[in-house]
């Protein structure tokens, strides 16, 4: 079935270019130029995934997400500027699935959309008479990761990560004790030819640690090797 993607952005150039790129990949698109207009349409006729700009007039992306989450759990990706780290953190805490900083690669956006839609599909319970989709679980000490469903637990407690955060953690956890440089983590998380600076990877690591410490305050399995990178300690 063809997935429908809703785009909400006051920049018409972005609406047009992203919509054309998504349609070329086989997606259906709906576009909205402000949050107020989009909100009712997203609730009354929900798409499979929505992409919001954070900075919009009348109703910004954060308020749109807050109101949407009162009615819906549809996947949401935020578009942000490079300096919106606080807004990114708020958006993720409110239930966004991922964010991408402008200017962005359309290939990266499409890859994120496919990953999130796949995760949402696999998260659905099997229909009566259907066998659940078998998946291989990555287990490292108290950590368990289901790559197909993008599910993560620590000591059995769920930890919600964005697609980017998941890929970074998975890269570290695949080889415990081995140091991964920031460049290696960039390659794993972005898989594209866009530039991502060191601060971006550091910010993702901080968020991953913070999320794990919400369920396990003593969490220290991701070690920083100053000047070298990061490694996962299996304990």
Q: Residue 89: its pLDDT value, please?
A: 65
- In whole angstroms, give the CA distance from residue 211 to residue 161: 8
pLDDT confidence tier of residue 112, bands split at 50, 70 and 90: confident
- In whole angstroms, give the CA distance from residue 191 to residue 172: 16
Q: Residue 165: its pLDDT value, please?
A: 86
Can you say how many angstroms the Cα of residue 229 is from the centroid of all Cα atoms in its chain?
A: 22
The pTM (predicted TM-score) of the whole model is: 0.68
| Bond into 9 cis (ω within 30) | no
The stretches of the chain forming alpha helices (DSSP H) are 12-24, 35-44, 61-69, 85-94, 106-123, 163-174, 182-190, 198-215
Instruction: Give mean pLDDT, residues 21-32.
Output: 95
pLDDT confidence tier of residue 158, bands split at 50, 70 and 90: very high
Q: Helix, strand, coil: what percent of the chain each, to 5?
A: 40, 20, 40
């Amino acid at each position: 079935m063809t997935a429908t993607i809703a785009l909400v952005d006051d920049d018409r150039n972005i609406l047009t270019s992203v919509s054309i790129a998504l349609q070329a990949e086989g997606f259906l698109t709906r576009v909205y130029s402000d949050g107020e207009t989009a909100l009712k349409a997203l609730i009354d006729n929900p798409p499979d995934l929505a992409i919001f700009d954070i900075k919009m007039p009348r109703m910004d992306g954060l308020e749109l997400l807050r109101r949407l989450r009162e009615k819906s759990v549809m996947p949401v990706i935020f578009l942000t500027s490079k300096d919106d780290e606080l807004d990114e953190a708020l958006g993720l805490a409110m239930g966004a699935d991922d964010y991408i900083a402008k200017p962005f690669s359309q290939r990266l956006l499409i890859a994120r959309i496919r990953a999130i839609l796949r995760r949402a599909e696999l998260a659905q319970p099997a229909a009566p008479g259907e066998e659940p989709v078998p998946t291989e679980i990555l287990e490292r000490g108290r950590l368990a990761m289901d790559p197909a469903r993008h599910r993560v637990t620590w000591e059995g407690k769920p930890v919600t990560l964005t697609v980017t955060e998941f890929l970074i953690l998975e890269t570290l956890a695949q080889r415990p004790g081995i140091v991964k440089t920031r460049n290696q983590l960039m390659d794993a998380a972005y898989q594209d030819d866009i530039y991502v600076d060191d601060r971006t990877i550091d910010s993702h690591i901080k968020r991953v640690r913070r999320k794990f410490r919400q369920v396990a305050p003593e969490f220290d399995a991701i070690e920083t090797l100053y000047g070298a990178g990061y490694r996962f300690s299996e304990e």
